């Protein structure tokens, strides 16, 4: 039995990426199958740029979240707010979880979020309190951590 939530989360995220890559593949303009090319591209690890500024104050023990990563989370949430409004809070929470998992994986923070999901509240409170407030209203939760499922305490 696998008990490492971080490993499970990463496995699910990678599997989802692979499935999405397969679903989105097809043929090029000449009718040639491009599945192998796309599959290779979608299974490559997500690369992140190293922060050019010093890391932000650590919201959780061991987590160093750059200002770029913090802003990225804010931008990712803000982009989805209208979609979430249309989905209703229950479905929106599922989408929110995907957004946070995507952000954490891109920034190599999955283990940090699994250990302490309040990192999402800390980052958004510091970087984009207005976006955080809108997300709280759309998701109908008192804090963003309570909307996360499958992450630690």
DSSP SS3 for 33: strand
Domains of the chain by residue range: 1-45, 52-153
Other C-beta atoms lying within 10 Å of the C-beta of residue 144: 24
Instruction: Give Cα separations from 132 to 2, 5, 7, 121 (angstroms).
Output: 33, 26, 28, 8
Entry pTM? 0.61
What is the pLDDT tens value at each position of the chain, 153 positions in all? Answer: 444 555 554 544 454 443 344 333 344 444 444 444 333 333 333 333 333 333 344 444 446 899 999 999 999 999 999 999 999 999 999 999 999 999 999 999 999 999 999 999 999 999 999 999 999 999 999 999 999 987 655
């Amino acid at each position: 039995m696998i008990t490492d939530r971080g490993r499970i989360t990463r496995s699910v995220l990678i599997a989802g990426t692979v499935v999405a890559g397969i679903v989105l593949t097809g043929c090029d303009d000449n009718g040639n199958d491009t599945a192998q090319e796309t599959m290779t591209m979608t299974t490559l690890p997500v690369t992140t740029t190293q922060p050019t500024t010093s890391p932000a104050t650590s919201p959780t023990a061991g987590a160093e979240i750059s200002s770029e990563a913090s802003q990225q989370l804010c931008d990712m949430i803000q982009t989805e707010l209208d979609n979430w409004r249309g989905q209703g809070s229950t479905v929106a929470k599922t989408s929110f979880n995907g957004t946070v998992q995507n952000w954490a994986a891109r920034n190599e923070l999955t283990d940090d979020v699994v250990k302490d999901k309040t990192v999402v509240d800390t980052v958004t409170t510091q970087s984009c309190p207005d976006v955080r407030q809108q997300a709280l209203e759309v998701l109908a939760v008192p804090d963003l951590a309570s909307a996360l499922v499958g992450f630690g305490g």
